[in-house]
Amino acid sequence: MAKESASHLKGQHVLLCVGGGIAAYKSLELVRRLRDAGAEVQVAMTAGAQQFVTPLSFQALSGHPARTTLWDSAAEASMGHIELARWADRIVIAPATADLLAKLAHGFADDLVSTLCLATTAPITVAPAMNHRMWLHPATQANLATLRARNVQVIGPEDGPLAEGESGPGRLSEPEAIVASLAPVAEALPTTTPGALHGLKVVVSAGPTYEDLDPVRYLGNRSSGKMGFAVADSARRRGAEVVLVSGPVHLPTPAGVTRVDVRSAAQMREAVFAAFPADIYIGAAAVADYTPRAPATNKIKKSNESLALDLVRTPDILSEVAAQTQGLKLVVGFAAETENVAGYARGKLVAKHLDLIVANRVGVADGGFESDQNAMTAYWQEGERVFTPGAKTRLADELIDLIVERLDA
């Protein structure tokens, strides 16, 4: 990771949350390194952390009294915990224990640190440290996946000898490495406009559809659903009521979003229309264009050298949605293209009567299906916007910004 990213810390308010693990002693050094990089640091400690290091040590190094509990009336009087959450330009949790990761993933707010993390809009970085079996446990890994999907930056842990005399992944990254790896804030969480979609209902389709050939086989595509899920999450964070109609994917449901799982294009169409009336429709799903005319009731046996499938067109959900204008303020489509991106995308914008179409080039390295990254351009009748390639979560936020703009246009 680029060392120069530490320069982004100059003048930044960093809230360091310290979890309860033996690695907490390294967090003292982390305070020093953060301050060396120009950051102003305040420290919040869990009860567990205080078993390993004293608040006084953090006070001496940070120049601020370390916060230890939600119920400290003197501390609350000088800066309430909500104020502290707002003060932070970023939150760094080091060491992040398995317990803290679980609390964060599930939105607990039963102590100072978890409450601060729930109350903040600042980007969060976690530097986990724990026993290697705890780290590798599916529960911990699932919690991490949830946090990553929410754009939480994860640094480490390192592989090596652990406190209990064992060895494996679980060591807290060195303070110097943590400071060097902290992503610039803009990359960690883009600017959002909280409340911009308040009072509006947004229906998002996401993922692939599976068209069954027989009881064991289907026609599908490589859509992961990540972009649609990120868009749903982003719309929700701007205050919209969001219904996410999803094909078969392996993704956690974004917080506060109503999810409807479907399998086929026909089911997706039904679920989308069941979710109406709505103000905005965002068709991010990679809907199958064809489905078997008559799925076999029993497994198709191999017999001839070749097999011809009899397929019929699926309903074009997006076109149908755009055709029924009742109440809808904006209809947004996606176009996955391998060539002539602008030409095909603009063609679909007109043919499907859309307000906006988001095109991305698929079939290139590091983008499109399955990737966390994307490169995309949005087109509307009178204009276009090229988005800087990057994380789908950031692009989703920028797309929602554009949607808010187009609503007002």
**Binding site for CTP, residues?**
289, 299, 315-318, 334, 348, 352
Distance CA 107, CA 312 (A): 45
Residue 332 burial by CB count (10 A; 0-12/13-18/19+): exposed, middle or buried? buried
Dihedrals φ, ψ of 161, to 5°? -65, 140
317 binds ligand CTP (CB under 6 A): yes
For position 232 contacting ligand CTP by CB under 6 A, the verdict is no
Please give the angle made by the CA atoms of 244, 248 and 249, to the nearest 5 degrees: 80
Nearer to ligand CTP, 18 or 322 (CB): 322
DSSP H helical ranges for 246-340:
265-275, 317-323
Q: Smallest distance, Å, CB 327 to ligand CTP?
A: 18
Question: How many chain residues interact with ligand CTP (CB under 6 A)?
Answer: 15
The residue within the footprint of ligand CTP, chosen from 114, 125, 314, 374 (CB under 6 A), is: 314
Q: Does 348 bind ligand CTP (CB under 6 A)?
A: yes
Distance, C-alpha 358 to centroid of its chain: 19
**Interaction of residue 318 with ligand CTP, rule CB under 6 A:** yes
- With binding defined as CB under 6 A, does residue 336 bind ligand CTP? yes
Q: What is the DSSP string of 37-86?
A: TT-EEEEEE-TTHHHHS-HHHHHHHHSSPPB--TT-HHHHHHS-HHHHHH
Catalytic residue among 131, 221, 298, 360: 221
By rule CB under 6 A, what string of x and - marks binding of each residue 272-311 to ligand CTP?
Answer: -----------x-x-x-x----------------------
Site for ligand CTP in 192-211 (CB under 6 A): 205
Our CB check for ligand CTP shows the closer of 316 and 401 to be 316
Residue 325 CB, shortest distance to ligand CTP, in Å, is: 16
Is 362 near ligand CTP (CB under 6 A)?
Answer: no
Residue 157 found at the interface with ligand CTP (CB under 6 A): no
Three-state SS at 305: coil
Q: Which residue has the tokens 């953090």?
A: 58
Q: Least distance to ligand CTP from the beta carbon of 339, Å? A: 11
Residue 221 bears catalytic tag = yes
Residue whose token pair is 């979560």: 393
Distance, in Å, from the CA atom of 405 to the CA atom of 369, rounded to the nearest integer, reads: 27
Residues that bind ligand CTP (CB under 6 A): 205, 265, 283, 285, 287, 289, 314, 316-318, 333-336, 348
